[in-house]
Structures are given as C-alpha cells and as structure tokens.
Structure 1
Amino acid sequence: MDVVRMLEAASLLVPAGVATSTDITACDVWDHLAHDEWEVALGLLQELGGGWTAPPGFWDELELAAGMLGFARSRAWCSWRGAETREGVIRAELFLRPAGETFRRTPVPGAGVLRPMWDIGNRTDGGARELDIARLWVECAGDLAPGAQAPVRLLPLTAARWRHLRPGDRITLYETAVAGGTATVLEVHPPSALA
C-alpha cells in the first residue's frame, strides 16, 4: 500500500540516535509498520520530527500518508511543519483580548486557517505602521477562545519581513482596525539548510 511506502520513506530519513522524550525511535516505528499499525506509526513519526531538523521531504511523505489515511488535522500539521522547514519557525505566546473588547466573539481556529495581520514593527518610508500577514497555528488545542492565551506558531506570507524578530519581542494581532491580541515571541529559527 502507498501509505506504508510513504511511512517507510519518512522513517528512513530519521537519523540514528533521534528519540522522543519517551525513548521512541525509528526502530519502534518499523515495528508498528510490520503490524499494519499505520496510524500509530504516523503519530510516532510526527513526534520524532520534533526532535531534529527534518528535511521537507520527511514532512511531505507524512502529509501524503495522513491524507490517504483521512486524518485532516494531521495532514495539515505535516504540511505546516514542511512549510516551517522551508520558511523558518516563529513561536509566540498569544493573549487574545476578551469578547466585547474586540469584534471576535468565537474562538480562533487552531489549525492554521486564520491569516490575521500583525504589527511586527515594520514601517513605511513615511514612518506609518505597516501590517504583515501570517497564518496562525494554536499549539496543543483545537482553537483559542477570546480572552485566552496559548503558545502559537506563525507562518508569514512574506517570511523575509519577519527575520528581524527575536525572542522577547512583542507583536500585535489585528483582524480589524482594533487590536485583537498581543503576543510575545518565544522562538525564531531560520529556514532549514536542508530546504
């Protein structure tokens, strides 16, 4: 089956010595593949992908396998991680303003579908504020309710305009003319040299 081939191809890209926090390695993935436990193998490979700088091909194979298995969120996550490999990683702690202080009354969807504008400090030649767009992925949750906070990942529309950010920088989210939230940058990593 093609799913098995994709998971095997991704497994072969994991370097020896890479393990999860619970000491799962690529060898464990192969055991699950031998027993036709494709969903488990996919989950373990996604977890292993966080322990090293995986090339885009790793995430591309996992994205295809997740799609064939019908796991939409997992497919979207693998697509996101592949894009981060090519564009760079930006993580931040986002604080949304409470409902009533801004137009948002419903939770922010967590799987990278929202593309809000951000004030990241860029200015026009005349000194006016210039907003930049980035997709938003809420970590560890399906969505983020107004007034809540959570770690998020940002995938900029134009990554080069975000390269000046450093951990500790504060940025502001806009969906309308009124700020919808603020975020403190936690991590910034350039694109992978493997991309």
Structure 2
Amino acid sequence: MDVLELLESAGLLAPGAAADPDDPTVLEIWDLLAHDGWETVLTLLEEPGSNPPVPPRIWADLAAAAEELHHARSAAWCRWRRYEARDDLVIRAELTLPPAAQGPRRTAFDGAGVMRPLWDIGRRTPDGGPDLAVAALWVEHTPTLGPGERATVRLLPLTPDRWRGLRPGDRITMHEGRPVAGTAVVLEARRVYGSG
C-alpha cells in the first residue's frame, strides 16, 4: 500500500481530488511528501473536524512508509503521533528557554522527540515539594530549539494519567537538573478520542 492509499484508508484524504476548494490537492500532498514535509501534510489532513481520529495502527503504517522512503524525521513524527493516539492524549504548549547566560542550557537540542526532561505540572509530594513528571518533547515545525528561543512543542508523558488535569493556560516548567530550564504555557490538553 502506498502513502496516498494509507491516507485514504485512514479517512484523511478524499480519493482522487480534494473535496473542498480549501482542502489540499493530491499533487500538493505529493509535493510535500517528496520534500519530507510529512509533519505539515499530516497536520493539514487532520484539521477538518469531520474526520475521525487516526488509529495507532495507521500511524504505525505511515511510520513504516516514511522509513522505506528514508525520511527519518517523518518516521519519528508518525511514531510520536501513534503514541499520542495510543495514550489518548495530546498536549501542546508554548515553550520558552532562557538565554544561555540565564539558564542551564548552553546549546540547542534536537526537537524530534529525543529529549525527555522533567516537568513541574503543579503536582506536589507529601512534603510539599514539586512532584516532577517525565515527558518527551517534540518541537513543532523546526528541527532544534536553543537558549533564548521559543516554540510550540508537544509533550508525550511517560505516565499520561498524571497529566490529564492540565488545561489551556496552565503554566508548567521544564527541568534538566535543579534550575528551571524552560517555562511553558499549555495551549492544548485534550483526549484524542473524546472529551475530558
């Protein structure tokens, strides 16, 4: 099965042509895929509210297709989306890193889900200290994020149930050790398959 057939079978692309003048055409989709624009393609195709959520098995198939085409970042993105669907949780936030002179980070990090920092999401230990939680971090639409920069990120918690109470507007902090390594404002915290 080729990539377009996978997208059609997932209900992400109307067969043959775009159903609406604002929808992407098959040629536009192929052009983006040819230039490793999978993140953009999948984001575009998921936006219409009438489509059902993409099941984890389709994300796995898309990851395999991206690997066959030697698109490593696209394959990683599809695996990331598979985990979000599996965990039934999408968390997006606006993350700001302090400048190198003010924070612990001196260099940029890979934005493709490699980093798994600790996060203060507002939970407390019995003695009143922060109960930090682990979540992998994906930087949207850019390969790296460095000191003094800001970007929209996605978080993939190690223990999703601990994160379900987050709401848009909540402030959370990223830690790579004792000092705060970044601050974030939650933009979206939602279930993939339902409300709550």
TM class, shorter-chain normalised?
0.7 to 0.9
Question: 1:167 matched to which residue of 2?
Answer: 168
Q: Does 1:106 find its partner at 2:107? A: yes
Question: 1:160-193 CA deviation, whole Å, 9 max, x = no partner?
Answer: 0001100000000000100011000000111426
Partners of 2:151 and 2:84 in 1: CA distance: 19
Q: Hey, what's the Cα distance between the residues in 2 that align with 1:21 and 1:138?
A: 30
Q: CA deviation at 1:148?
A: 0.9
Q: Distance in 2 between matches of 1:48 and 1:142?
A: 21
The alignment status of 1:11 with 2:25, answered yes or no, reads no
* Structure 2 counterpart of 1:39, one-letter code: A
TM-score (norm 1): 0.82
Percent of pairs identical after alignment? 45
From the two aligned structures, give the one with the greater helix fraction: 1
TM-score, normalised via structure 2 length: 0.82
- For structure 2, the residue ranges without an aligned partner over 5 or more in a row are none
Tell me the SS of whatever aligns to 1:62: helix
Matched, 1:124 2:125: yes
Q: Describe the SS at the equivalent of 1:8.
A: helix
Residue of structure 1 in register with 2:81 after alignment: 81
1:23 and 2:20 matched: no
**7-16 or 122-131: bigger deviation:** 7-16
Contact 1:95 1:182 in 2 (8 A): yes
Aligned residue pair count:
183
Describe the shift of the 1:21–1:82 C-alpha distance in structure 2 as closer, same or farther (beyond 3 A): farther
Residue in structure 2 matching 1:39, options 34, 38, 41:
34
Q: CA RMSD in A?
A: 2.8
The superposition leaves residues 93-123 of structure 1 with CA deviations (integer Å, 9 ceiling, x where unpaired) of: 0010110212211112110100000000111
Q: Deviation digits for residues 19-69 of structure 1, max 9, x if unmatched?
A: 6994126xx27x96xxxx973798485231344421212211110100111
Q: Describe the superposition over 1:116-173 as per-residue Cα deviations: whole angstroms up to 9, x where unpaired.
A: 0000011112322110010001111111110111111000010000011000000000
Unaligned runs of 5+ in 1: none
Query: What is the SS of the residue equivalent to 2:131?
Result: coil
Tell me which residue corresponds to 1:96. Answer: 97
Structure-1 separation of matches of 2:106 and 2:46: 35
